[in-house]
Amino acid sequence: MLNLAPTKTNLFKLRDELKFARQGFELLDQKRKILINELLALVDQCVDYQEQIDKRLARAFVSYEHGVLQVGKLKVHHLAATINITTSIAINKRRVMGVALPVVATEFTEHPPYFSPRGTTFHIDDAQVSFKEALKMMGHLAELKISVLRLAAEVHKTIRKVNALERIAIPDLEETVKYIESRLEENERDMVILMKKVKQRLEAKRTRLTPSAQGVGNAPVT
């Protein structure tokens, strides 16, 4: 309970603060639910993208190994050096309930043909495509992981605020409001009782003075 004098001014002030605290609790609780839903959705996407990246990398390395077995490691390295692909990564951002989340876009600019298909194997092409797909998905996976970390931090802060309002601030305000209301009601009752006693004394005094006044008015004139 807050240590405040039981006055009407403090009562009106605390009622406004209590109303504001309840509204803040409702908004923060809605924010918490939205952030948790978004966080869980991103976690599921992270798991899915990680599995897809692992599959593409595994396929790329298998194709690379098959290529080495068919044309030799040295020729594979020479063929890889002829591949002319430029990569650009653009990082933007989006907001979820005030939290800035990154948006990573990976783009490739290719300049084929890279080498003659004679004396090579399709495993080299397959490895190149798989590595490129894995790289593009890694950018999105990084976006998801950073988003998960930021959302998790914001969820933690929001939960702390919700708990502070629900368990500390609002109960203290409610208890203080009830205390001041009870004290003011008690003061009003005391005031009513006091006024009744004053009225009774005034009436008793008026009753005592009335016969004397009548006696003075009826006295004979000499």
Q: Which of 62, 175, 120, 40 is nearest to 48 (CA)?
A: 40
Q: Which of 53, 32, 26 is nearest to 135 (CA)?
A: 53
User: Each residue of 107-160: pLDDT tens digit?
Assistant: 888 877 777 677 778 888 888 889 989 999 999 999 999 999 999 999 999 999
Domains in the chain and their CATH numbers? 8-174 (1.10.287.3240)
pLDDT at res. 207:
81
Whether the pLDDT of residue 222 is over 50: the answer is no
pTM, two decimals, is 0.73
Number of H helices, E strands in the chain: 4, 2
Q: What are φ and ψ of residue 62, in 5° steps? A: -65, -45
Largest alpha-carbon pair distance within the chain?
Answer: 157
Whether the pLDDT of residue 70 is over 70: the answer is yes
Task: For residue 212, name the pLDDT band (cuts at 50, 70, 90).
Answer: low
Rounded Cα–Cα distance for residues 145 and 48 (Å): 12
Neighbours of 25 (CB within 10 A): 17
Establish whether the linkage from the previous residue to 113 is cis, with ω within 30° of 0: yes
Which residues, including other chains, have CB under 8 Å from residue 170's CB and lie 6 or more apart? 18, 21, 22, 25
